[in-house]
Amino acid sequence: MDRHEYSALELREGIARRDFTAREVCETVFTRIRAWDPKFKIFLASDEQGAYSAATEVDRKLAAGESAGPLAGLPLALKDNLCTSGFPTTCASRILEGWRPPYNATVVERVKAAGAVLVGKVNMDEFAMGSSCENSAFFPTRNPWNPDCVAGGSSGGSAAAVAADLVPLALGSDTGGSIRQPASFCGVVGLKPTYGRVSRFGLVAFASSLDQIGPLARNVEDAALLLSVIAGHDQRDATSTDLPVPDYLLRLKEGVKGLKIGLPREFISAGIHPEIKTALDTAQKVFADAGVELIEVALPHAEYCLAAYYLVATAEASSNLARYDGVQYGQRVSGDNLLEMYAATRATGFGAEVKRRIMLGTYALSAGYYEAYYKKALQVRTLIQRDFEQAMTKCDLILTPTSPTTAFSLGEKTKDPLTMYLSDVFTTSANLAGLPGVSIPGGFSSEGLPIGLQLIGKAYDEETLLRTAYAFQSRTDWHTRRPAMEEAK
Amino acid sequence: MPEITEETVKKIARLANLRMDPDETARFTEHLEKVLEYMRKLNQLDTTGIPQTAHVLPLQNVWREDEVLPGLDRSEALAGAPDVRDDCFRVPRIIE
């Protein structure tokens, strides 16, 4: 096995045993990036200098017999909406082009303190608004399994970086499926923690009541490792919980005998690809063999999730994105007076989808329409939350496909915004209800594209969620398959 | 009669501080109407008396000790601004 195929835990062992140094791991990563990034367009900015200096420090500590942290020497890619002190953070938007944040996001501080080697910032849909990475103001990221297909979104760069074996670990953010859907499209593991499990300080806000940061990795163990490092209370995010953080690796392999998985059958029957249906049926057998009891559950309001989600998310976005006015940071386009400067800056700096969502959210919050749209969506959110509370009295987890389709072709859904929004039909519910969800590799289509399965767990019970995901992974080999990736020219 | 007309889009664009050319206005009119038509699916549900969930956590106020912690200094806070004068953010004239 080549070193770039090592999982994070394998690399960690190798570095700790001094089989190879953190610097050598770093060399492997940048050789891969130079070879493959031109083809898949994953990185917005790589930080070779910073990475080598972090790796050197890890090697020095280990040589001196000092502790170098749980992520010592492990290469990690960051979605470009996570603030990195002094290093460009664009959210894949022209409006923030060239901006260097004056501070690090809490998760960035945490992974650095844990010894991770940050290799750079990866592509995304502009301000995390999109399901394909095609809304990046710079370029779309391509899927390592088929460069004519999208990587998914909005954390498409994070998922593709892991799938292409450029890095074993990446961080993304998930507002309505933005970690899980690209993980599914790229055949990797992607976890959205419970709302409040991970600090959002320094995550550029899209929809504050829905956003969470989470790990992407090639296997469940690596995702558990990274979650253990980033989870926990932070005084700078009042919505982060002070519940204790378990070591998620500790009980990962304890098995799932006696657990109950609920299937919301009426919800998942609508409009899913037959091959995804087959993968879901196979998964049920795998779980049954592992000792899980599968039961039917009802989520009567699940079909309203997407509509409620897009109203809540756009309303919050219209407010959060009001800060981009060309005054404190980012780009400015001049105008004759202040209002014209604002309007010109925002018209030039934002892409079409961001503008569309600001418009939709502004409309849903405007006088005369607030009650009919925003208030209505918040009430439906209550009904959706109650559905999950009710269902979770009968089961421990819920199983669905992650996405109704596999990765689609570039350009296939850019013409019609609603078609693109429908990619998120299975993922938005976990954000609305604040529950943790994970996408795991669950098969391949006849065209060789990955199929993802989603498990949704109980609030703050990522331990059971990961243990169940691991039980599935240990009985299947989908996660071990690698994209063929034709030689780069 | 569609709910969204070009006049509505122009008004919303003004509220959102977005300059919009005629092509964009036409395109957004079509898109917003189509997306809102889907959103109106929520009207199938009777939500009389259902409370609103703006936030999933049962949080009210979160307190911490009132102690002075380090923050950004002025030069750091101004470093990313497009136009700075006399240690302040500078904007076009507001008062004629």
Closest chain A CA to residue B96: A337
* pLDDT mean over A146-165: 98
Percent of chain A scoring above 70 in pLDDT = 99
Cα B1 to Cα A17: distance, rounded to the nearest angstrom: 72
Per DSSP, helices labelled H in A41-84 are: 48-63
Cα A320 to Cα A151: distance, rounded to the nearest angstrom: 26
Do A329 and B31 count as a contact with CB atoms less than 8 A apart?
A: no
The catalytically annotated residue of A178, A184, A228, A445 is A178
Q: How many CB atoms lie within 10 A of CB B40?
A: 14
| A326 three-class SS | coil
Do B38 and A311 count as a contact with CB atoms less than 8 A apart?
A: no
| Chain pair A-B, CB pairs under 8 angstroms | 161
CATH number listed for the domain at residues B6-44? 1.10.20
Phi-psi region of B59 (alpha: psi -120 to 50; beta: other; left: phi over 0): beta
Do B92 and A360 count as a contact with CB atoms less than 8 A apart?
A: no
Annotated active-site residue A319? The verdict is no
On the question of pLDDT at A291 being above 90, the answer is: yes
pLDDT score of A466: 98
Question: Mean pLDDT, chain A, as a whole number?
Answer: 96
pLDDT score of A132: 97
* pLDDT mean over A190-211: 98
Closest chain B CA to residue A325: B17
Q: What is the pLDDT of residues A420-439, one digit of tens each?
A: 888 899 999 999 999 999 99
Lowest mean pLDDT among A58-67, A244-253, A414-423: A414-423
Q: Which of B28, B39, B52 sits opposite A378 (nearest CB)?
A: B52
Chain B touched by A240 (CB under 8 Å):
no
B74-A101-A92 Cα angle (round to 5): 145
More confident residue, A312 or A269: A312
Cα A9 to Cα A191: distance, rounded to the nearest angstrom: 17
Do A341 and B91 count as a contact with CB atoms less than 8 A apart?
A: yes
Domain edges within chain A: 3-257+460-476
Separation in Å, CA A285 to CA A43, A254, A281, A282, A404: 39, 19, 7, 5, 20
A234-A116-A178 Cα angle (round to 5): 65
Give yes or no for a contact between A459 and A486, defined as CB atoms under 8 angstroms apart. Answer: no
Closest chain A CA to residue B88: A328
pLDDT score of A489: 42
Q: Which of B56, B59, B94 sits opposite A433 (nearest CB)?
A: B56
- Residue A179's Cβ-side half-sphere holds a number of Cα atoms within 13 Å equal to 32
Cα A58 to Cα A21: distance, rounded to the nearest angstrom: 9
Q: Give the ipTM.
A: 0.95
Encoded amino acid at A186, one letter: C
Annotated active-site residue A439? The verdict is no
Annotated active-site residue A154? The verdict is yes
Q: What is the pLDDT of residues A346-397, one digit of tens each?
A: 999 999 999 999 999 999 999 999 999 999 999 999 999 999 999 999 999 9
Cα A150 to Cα A144: distance, rounded to the nearest angstrom: 9
Cα A218 to Cα A401: distance, rounded to the nearest angstrom: 18
User: Positive or negative, the Cα torsion across B15, B17, B22, B28?
Assistant: negative
- In the CATH hierarchy, which fold is given to the domain comprising A3-257+460-476? Amidase signature (AS) enzymes (3.90.1300)
Do B39 and A311 count as a contact with CB atoms less than 8 A apart?
A: yes
Domain edges within chain B: 6-44
Q: Which of A195, A366, A381 sits opposite B15 (nearest CB)?
A: A366
Residues 406-465 in A contacting B (C-alpha not used; CB under 8 Å)? 416-418, 421, 432-434
On the question of pLDDT at A105 being above 70, the answer is: yes
Per-residue confidence band for A488, with pLDDT thresholds at 50, 70 and 90: very low
Query: In residues, how long is chain A?
Result: 489
Judging contacts by C-beta atoms under 8 Å, the chain A residues touching residue B29 are: none
Q: What is the pLDDT of residues A317-346, one digit of tens each?
A: 999 999 999 999 999 999 999 999 999 999
pLDDT score of B1: 63
**Residue A64 corresponds to which tokens in the numbers above?**
């001196």
Cα B77 to Cα B71: distance, rounded to the nearest angstrom: 10
* pLDDT mean over A109-115: 98
Encoded amino acid at B93, one letter: R
Separation in Å, CA A437 to CA A90, A187, A428: 27, 16, 10
Cα B72 to Cα B80: distance, rounded to the nearest angstrom: 12
The catalytically annotated residue of A41, A79, A192, A458 is A79
Give yes or no for a contact between A80 and A92, defined as CB atoms under 8 angstroms apart. Answer: yes
pTM of the shown model: 0.97
Percent of chain B scoring above 70 in pLDDT = 99
